[in-house]
Structure 1
Amino acid sequence: MTAETQGGGRAAGLDCEVLIVGAGPAGSACARWLARAGLVVRQIDQHPAGRDKTCGDGLIPDAHKALARLGLLDEVMRLAQPVSHVGCIGPRGGRIDVPGSLAVLPRRELDALLLRAAQQAGALFEQARFEAPLEQDGRVVGARIRRGEDVVEVRARWVVLATGAVPKALTAAGMCERHTPSGVALRGYVKAPQMVGRIKALEVVWDQSVRPGYGWIFPAPDGHFNIGVGVTDSHRDLGGKGRKKDVNLRAIFDAFVAKYAPAAELMRVGELVGELKGAPLRCTLNGAKWTRPGLLVTGEAAGSTYSFTGEGIGKALETGMLAAEAILAHRHDDEGDAATRSAYEAGLTALKPKFDLYERANRVNAHPWLADLLIWRAKKSPRLLARMSGVLNETSNPGNLVSLKGISRLFFD
């Protein structure tokens, strides 16, 4: 089948209708959504299929909803480790377990599954690196991509950048507004079958020793655990360039292990699989332009990771589908470019207040005593526990929990 027949009338001179740069959750969700609708989609990534990605691997309710929309939730859950609670642990050792629809699946497996799903829908994938956009009359009309030593041009009606937190592609495309990340994280995998059943929740730990961040242990499939630390306000923004604060992730990780007894036991009895790996985070839908003529930015490249928690898989999937829906809605319009961009920007703008609320809740990381207060009251207040569960399930406002009004309410709920 040629691209012309598969695409149902692709315009002359185009190699594809949509070129998607990136094979993470956002890129593959966008590719699957578009290919299922019959568009000719090419997807590239500088890494081979199934590459590793530094991440907590947690699938919270927004990821479950997005995977269900993609028709992939059942397949993901057959591979994932199901989890029923987030365990919130405060500096004084207090703990509250917040219920939710949760799971853990290493990104190597999740991303490979999502990419296969995009290809099964008809998207074409190759390992190649984005070099720069092709431009004509002020509009992006494709990209120069590198395959090994060769640089070739791919012409497309739309280019979608889903290139994650590293700003190189954003900068090359003229879309980067903040070169430094919003946060940083460090994680490792530990094989410890003897700990299965003892660490059952997505455990998130706040303490002065890991301030201004948090530590986590998530149970993964096959007797493995994802352990790490994150700091979601790691750089000072200085006119878009930024400068890293005094943050040493390895020192924070070591402090977390020393302070939190289950982490110490996990590292003592388990086997570290591979090395500890660090990664940047781009949060709060900030740091990049979302669109320009012929080009959309989606996923973590657009800042789709939540501040405060560092969760990003669900919103990466969601923004990838928003990009696809905008393209599909206006593919036959005479003013399709402007209408597509407007629709996509409206979709992201509608999400922005939720990201801003998580940014407000980020003060817990800077002031861990707030976690102690929330945990103390949640143990006494079913209503507060329900509100915390609502935050997890995106039915409650996370910023209200740590606002002045919210804190005062803690004493009267």
Structure 2
Amino acid sequence: MTDCLASSATPQGVPPSCATPLTPALEERYEVLVVGAGPAGAAAARLLAQAGRRVLMVDQHPLGRDKTCGDGLIPDAHQALQKLGLLEAVMARAEPVREVGCVGPRGGRVDVPGELAVLPRQVLDELLARHAVAAGARFEQARFEQALEDAQGRVCGAVLQRGDERLTLQADWVILATGAVPKALIAAGMCERHTPSGVALRGYVHAPAMVGRIQAMEVVWSREVRPGYGWIFPAPQGRFNIGVGVTDSHSAVAGKGRKKDVNLRALFDAFCQHYPPAAELMRHGQLEGELKGAPLRCTLQGARWTRPGLLVSGEAAGSTYSFTGEGIGKAMATGMAAAEAVLQGRDDADTRQRYEAVLQELKPRYDLYERANRINAAPWLADLLIWRAKRSPRLLKRMSGVLNETSNPGTLLSLKGLRRLFLE
């Protein structure tokens, strides 16, 4: 794999060959190049470094960059952090939460228990990445420009842009964990859908007076924010993460679909106007910085998962759940799966097969969450679920099972499931 050329998938032409020397600050070859230092990339880099692999993790942003997110750590995130050996370190910084408060359009509410916490992504991502570095991974701030290919078309490295330097780096494997923005996927020839599957807008409000008054991770459905939902999550140090999200925000057209008629700022304003705790939070608290929007890639769709020499993980692979918009836990899980495939694979084909098998095993669960996503377009379903859950301990237990991924979310909103609501 010494005869590497730039991937023809990019329009920038052929860069220097893999033999072009780098600056002394970087080696010319690594066993694994991880592109992206978010939860997926950091999880992959940590496992690989702990196994003794020579790993370079790159990101176009410095460690500790902000990321638009709800910041909620639900049970699958706790499980992933436990596997990484970082649960205690994260929980020492996070705000523990005991319940998700589901609020319907008519004001009905049910609190669903679970193992939960909230930690701003700026803190979480830096903590995960620095632990990857502590395990032996190398970090460089650089932007992925394009993949390198050998004479057989296998990815054998990447072209990176570091400041004014254009660097050519060889690697046995590349793990692409670049999030929802499709630029890197396009450059690597892995993008199947340019438009996102959802969008979200969030802000941080400092409101010490509201501490103790909003204790749950509140998720709110109403006609005012249809076809999406609003949320308020209590964060550490008297802050609250408040936002709105819309899944299925773009037309389901292969390649370049079109955005539907969705105005996130208007939905955010409507949420703050019509949901009393949100109105009080904005009235008595101080908005820190600006509201920030971001795309979502959901349902393990929109990108190829593998090609020879390259694996796609995290939200770049669509690791976010469409119903809840949660993606941190599954991003880490897919990053670890990519690392384990590299560590255990006998050859290229076996490595790819191992990784794709993990995602294929997850795919039915994503499909069920996509079915449950209908609640966002029909908020009266939230009213029905909440009404029955307040009267049925069995149904509340099933809802907690959905949160903990021990129950099927699709059956709650199937015809059979709706009939069962009146029998439980």
TM-score, L = length of structure 2: 0.93
Alignment of 1:105-124 (within 5 A): 105-124=119-138
**Superposed displacement of residue 76, structure 1:** 0.3
Paired residue secondary structure (2:92): helix
Partner of 1:97: 111
Partner of 1:277: 292
Partner of 1:404: 415
Is 1:358 the counterpart of 2:369? The answer is yes
What amino acid is aligned across from residue 18 of structure 1 in structure 2? Answer: V
What amino acid is aligned across from residue 178 of structure 2 in structure 1? Answer: T
Question: In structure 2, how many angstroms separate the alpha carbons of the residues matched to 1:58 and 1:120?
Answer: 25
Partner of 1:128: 142
What amino acid is aligned across from residue 96 of structure 2 in structure 1? Answer: P
Partner of 2:86: 72
Question: In structure 1, how many angstroms separate the alpha carbons of the residues matched to 2:32 and 2:254?
Answer: 33
Partner of 2:189: 174
Report the number of matched residues: 397
* Alignment check: 8 A CA contact 1:35 1:123 kept: yes
Paired residue secondary structure (2:171): strand
Partner of 1:55: 69
Partner of 1:345: 356
Is 1:38 the counterpart of 2:43? The answer is no
- Deviation digits for residues 73-105 of structure 1, max 9, x if unmatched? 000000000000000000000000000000000
**Superposed displacement of residue 238, structure 1:** 2.2
Partner of 1:380: 391
Partner of 2:312: 297
Question: In structure 1, how many angstroms separate the alpha carbons of the residues matched to 2:344 and 2:29?
Answer: 21
What amino acid is aligned across from residue 378 of structure 2 in structure 1? Answer: H
Alignment of 1:184-195 (within 5 A): 184-195=199-210
Unaligned runs of 5+ in 2: 1-26
TM-score, L = length of structure 1: 0.96
* Alignment check: 8 A CA contact 1:21 1:159 kept: yes
* Alignment check: 8 A CA contact 1:305 1:312 kept: yes
Partner of 1:3: none
Paired residue secondary structure (1:246): coil
**Superposed displacement of residue 237, structure 1:** 2.1
Paired residue secondary structure (2:114): strand
Partner of 1:8: none
* Alignment check: 8 A CA contact 1:14 1:157 kept: no
Partner of 2:13: none
* Alignment check: 8 A CA contact 1:43 1:123 kept: yes
Moved over 6 A (4+): none
- 1:389 aligned to which of 375, 395, 400: 400
* Alignment check: 8 A CA contact 1:284 1:352 kept: yes
Question: In structure 1, how many angstroms separate the alpha carbons of the residues matched to 2:240 and 2:379?
Answer: 24
Is 1:315 the counterpart of 2:330? The answer is yes
**Superposed displacement of residue 14, structure 1:** 5.8
Alignment of 1:155-166 (within 5 A): 155-166=170-181
Partner of 1:7: none
Partner of 1:4: none
Partner of 2:153: 138
Question: In structure 2, how many angstroms separate the alpha carbons of the residues matched to 1:293 and 1:140?
Answer: 6
Question: In structure 2, how many angstroms separate the alpha carbons of the residues matched to 1:261 and 1:326?
Answer: 48
- Deviation digits for residues 335-373 of structure 1, max 9, x if unmatched? x10000000000000000111110000000000000000
Question: In structure 2, how many angstroms separate the alpha carbons of the residues matched to 1:403 and 1:231?
Answer: 21
* Alignment check: 8 A CA contact 1:308 1:358 kept: yes
Question: In structure 2, how many angstroms separate the alpha carbons of the residues matched to 1:146 and 1:174?
Answer: 18
What amino acid is aligned across from residue 325 of structure 2 in structure 1? Answer: G
Question: In structure 1, how many angstroms separate the alpha carbons of the residues matched to 2:280 and 2:221?
Answer: 18
What amino acid is aligned across from residue 314 of structure 2 in structure 1? Answer: G
Paired residue secondary structure (2:390): helix
User: Quick one: percent identity of the two aligned structures?
Assistant: 74
Paired residue secondary structure (1:146): strand
**Superposed displacement of residue 15, structure 1:** 1.0
- Deviation digits for residues 102-155 of structure 1, max 9, x if unmatched? 000000000000001100100000100000000012100000000111111010
- Deviation digits for residues 6-32 of structure 1, max 9, x if unmatched? xxxxxxx96100000000000000000
Partner of 2:18: none
Question: In structure 2, how many angstroms separate the alpha carbons of the residues matched to 1:237 and 1:243?
Answer: 8
Unaligned runs of 5+ in 1: 1-12
Alignment of 1:170-319 (within 5 A): 170-319=185-334
- Deviation digits for residues 357-391 of structure 1, max 9, x if unmatched? 10000000000000000000000100000000000
What's the Cα RMSD here?
Answer: 0.7
Is 1:370 the counterpart of 2:384? The answer is no
Paired residue secondary structure (2:253): coil
What amino acid is aligned across from residue 215 of structure 2 in structure 1? Answer: K
